[in-house]
């Protein structure tokens, strides 16, 4: 236990650097960084952000792959009391501009390998004062055709020429630490507001039930824009562990080798990753004896995966979990019960409470379906600039001024208090561990010349949890499903592109002329 209590996210880095300065904190792309090195570089980035006008409470956006820069930038942002906004590197131009403008981001940190997406909208960034980029300097500067109303600078050069300041901005635990953008039912991404307090509480609670320690070596192949990936970093720094950070799971063979080389013992994944490992295992046996904890969330882990996972990870505790960005994590199943209650997602995480209510707000009996409500310090403040949607998700609690999260998801609970997921009550689709707004995909489809109508639904998929299927009616007979998919790949993140596209003569409609999806399902 530290001498001084930790109340702010960046204080976890200060503490770990003080206790174990020479310990390896981060391994990424063949490089290793100690806790003291991470802290020094974070202070330098903090100094640079201050030079470009960043002040307490400003939003600083990170549109960059998992890397040493993304880690140091997150803590550099926090050190000066600013709010970090991590944007998925799969995000395309229009959505990037929307998030930057909606968040009123003051500075954007990005990479030259994403220039094909940020270049087309450079003149649409309304509040940006500086764009700082990593990667290849010439790729950006040789392509600039005009001057913009903000500065564009090469971050590695700035880091080399900047001396760190060691002054930490004053902020309190109730200040915002992060905006995490996630798909919304309106089609536009929504910014989930989390404070230092809510994020620290969630990290402590998860560390407790996962039984993590300073000796752990945690692998993260999930994007830091995905809260499941982000918390691998936050928890690792909190306990002074080592994080092995990869850009993605795109090259599984490389990841498998990295797990063995780095003696990874904590493996967070989503069902698509486990499906790949199981498929590979059935062709040629895999075994990771060093792994002691395997975690899953985002989508339900099929019950029949248990046998294979025990073979692949013979010494691991397997955790099934459920959560949502609005409170990070809701519940978990004790690993000792994994084979006893494989269809359950367990009970509330430590320090929190869950209960089920009917749509009318009445308690529901055991075994019956109800809407899951969550009570605890980990609940978000609300959605950035969206009071209407916030009031839909946050309901008044019994205590004055207390907000309880209404997840809008249907569950049942048995007499022992174990939860069972039954389905979503909104249109959001969960696929590949990501949340997808059907409206956002439909808007992309309707922007394609020749498509008259479009409707998107989820269909069950053993690998993805749900797959996205699109129905379209067209005026141009040359628009084949494959061609439409190619157009979508230029406009949407990969996980949003429909797996199946069916061309129909017309879409079913209600008496008032609105497209109805009931007939499609």
Query: In terms of Cα–Cα distance, which of 241, 267, 230, 268 is closest to 75?
Result: 230
Please state, in angstroms and rounded to a whole number, the distance separating the CA atoms of residues 500 and 490: 17
**Run of H or E including 261:** helix 252-261
- Round to whole Å and give the CA distance between 429 and 264: 32
Torsion sign (Cα): 45, 51, 54, 60 = negative
Average pLDDT over residues 201-213: 98
Confidence check: pLDDT of 511 > 70: no
Instruction: Determine phi and psi for 458, rounding to 5 degrees.
Output: -100, 140
User: Could you give the CA distance from residue 11 to residue 177 in angstroms, rounded to a whole number?
Assistant: 12
SS3 97: helix
Q: Is residue 106 within 8 Å of residue 129, measured between CB atoms? A: yes
Distance CA 37, CA 25 (A): 9
Reading the block at residue 276, the tokens are 């790949």
441, 498 in Cβ contact below 8 A?
A: yes
Distance between the two ends of the chain, CA-based, in angstroms?
54
Encoded tokens for 59: 């939003």
Tokens of 397: 């609690």
Query: For residue 406, what is the DSSP state?
Result: E
Is pLDDT of 146 > 50? yes
- The pLDDT of residue 186 is 62
Length of the chain: 521
Q: Would you list the DSSP string of 221-234?
A: -S-TTSHHHHHHHH
Q: How confident is the model at residue 185 (pLDDT cuts 50, 70, 90)?
A: low
Distances from the Cα of 378 to the Cαs of 224, 332, 474, 478, in angstroms?
19, 15, 46, 51
Number of H helices, E strands in the chain: 15, 27
Q: What percent of the chain has pLDDT over 70?
A: 97
Instruction: For residue range 289-332, list pLDDT tens digits in order.
Output: 999 999 998 767 777 788 999 999 999 999 999 999 999 999 99
CA atoms within 13 A on the CB side of 290: 16
Among 301, 356, 304, 367, smallest CA distance to 330 is for 356
pLDDT at 218 over 80: yes
352-378 per-position pLDDT tens digit: 999 999 999 999 999 999 999 999 999
Q: Does residue 499 sit in helix, strand or coil?
A: coil
Average pLDDT over residues 7-33: 97
Put simply, whether the predicted model's pTM sits higher than 0.85 gets the answer yes
Residue 427 has pLDDT above 80, yes or no: no
> What is residue 117's predicted lDDT score, i.e. its pLDDT?
96
| Token pair in block for residue 163 | 């001396």
Q: Average pLDDT in the 236-258 region?
A: 96
494 is written with which tokens? 């990969």
pLDDT at 514 (0 to 100) = 58
Q: Report d(CA 98, CA 130) in Å as an integer.
A: 17
Distances (CA, A) of 167 to 15, 135, 459: 15, 29, 53
What domains sit in the chain, N to C, each tagged with a CATH number?
A: 36-194 (3.40.50.980), 249-424 (3.40.50.12780), 429-503 (3.30.300.30)
Q: Would you report the helix, strand and coil content of the chain in percent, each value rounded to 5?
A: 30, 25, 40
pLDDT recorded at residue 303: 79
The stretch 83-103 carries a mean pLDDT of 96
Would you state the pLDDT for residue 184? 66
Q: How many CB atoms lie within 10 A of CB 463?
A: 15
Angle value at C-alpha 37, between 36 and 42, nearest 5 degrees: 100
Residue 442: strand, helix, or coil: helix
CA distance 237 to 231: 10
CA distance 472 to 177: 41
Q: Left, alpha or beta for 170 (phi > 0: left; psi -120 to 50: alpha)?
A: beta
Say if residue 512's pLDDT is above 60. no
């Amino acid at each position: 236990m530290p001498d001084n209590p930790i109340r702010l996210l960046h204080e976890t880095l200060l503490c770990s650097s003080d206790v174990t300065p020479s310990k390896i904190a981060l391994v990424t792309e063949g490089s290793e960084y100690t806790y003291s090195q991470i802290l020094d570089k974070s202070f330098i980035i903090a100094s640079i952000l201050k030079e470009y006008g960043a002040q307490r409470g400003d939003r600083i956006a990170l549109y960059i792959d998992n890397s040493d820069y993304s880690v140091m930038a997150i803590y550099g942002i926090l050190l000066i009391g600013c709010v970090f906004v991590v944007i998925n590197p799969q995000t395309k131009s229009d959505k990037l501009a929307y998030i930057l403008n909606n968040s009123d981001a003051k500075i954007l940190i990005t990479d030259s390998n994403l220039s094909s997406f940020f270049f087309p909208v450079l003149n649409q960034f309304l509040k940006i004062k500086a764009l700082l980029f990593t990667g290849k300097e010439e790729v950006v500067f040789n392509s600039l055709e005009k001057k913009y109303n903000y500065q564009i600078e090469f971050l590695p050069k700035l880091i080399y020429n900047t001396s760190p300041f060691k002054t930490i901005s004053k902020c309190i635990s109730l200040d915002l630490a992060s905006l995490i953008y996630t798909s919304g039912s309106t089609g536009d991404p929504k910014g989930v507001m989390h404070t230092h307090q809510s994020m620290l509480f969630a990290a402590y609670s998860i560390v407790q039930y996962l039984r993590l320690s300073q000796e752990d070596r945690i692998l993260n192949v999930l994007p830091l824009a995905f809260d499941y990936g982000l918390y691998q970093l936050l928890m690792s720094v909190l306990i002074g562990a080592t994080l092995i950070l990869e850009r993605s799971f795109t090259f599984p063979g490389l990841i498998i080798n990295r797990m063995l080389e780095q003696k990874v013992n904590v493996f967070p994944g989503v069902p698509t990753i486990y499906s790949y490992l199981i498929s590979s295992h059935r062709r040629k046996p895999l075994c990771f004896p060093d792994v002691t904890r395997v975690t899953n969330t985002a989508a339900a882990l099929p019950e029949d995966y248990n046998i294979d996972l025990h073979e692949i990870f013979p010494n691991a505790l397997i955790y099934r979990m459920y959560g949502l960005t609005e409170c990070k994590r809701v519940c978990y199943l004790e690993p000792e019960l994994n084979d006893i209650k494989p269809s359950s997602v367990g009970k509330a995480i430590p320090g929190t409470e869950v209960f089920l209510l009917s749509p009318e707000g009445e308690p529901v009996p055991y075994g019956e379906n109800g809407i899951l409500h969550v009570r605890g310090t980990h609940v978000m403040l609300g959605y950035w600039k969206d009071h209407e949607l916030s009031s839909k998700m946050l309901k008044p609690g019994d205590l004055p001024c207390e907000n309880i999260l209404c997840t809008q998801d249907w569950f049942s609970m048995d007499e022992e208090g174990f939860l069972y997921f039954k389905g979503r009550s909104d249109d959001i689709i969960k696929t590949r561990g990501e949340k997808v707004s059907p409206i956002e995909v439909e808007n992309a489809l309707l922007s394609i010349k020749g498509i008259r109508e479009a409707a998107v639904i989820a269909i069950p998929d053993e690998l993805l949890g749900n797959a996205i299927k699109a129905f379209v009616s067209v005026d141009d007979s040359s628009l084949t499903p494959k061609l439409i998919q190619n157009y979508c790949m230029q406009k949407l993140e990969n996980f949003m592109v429909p797996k199946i596209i069916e061309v129909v003569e017309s879409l079913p409609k209600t008496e008032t002329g609105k497209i109805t999806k009931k007939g499609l399902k």
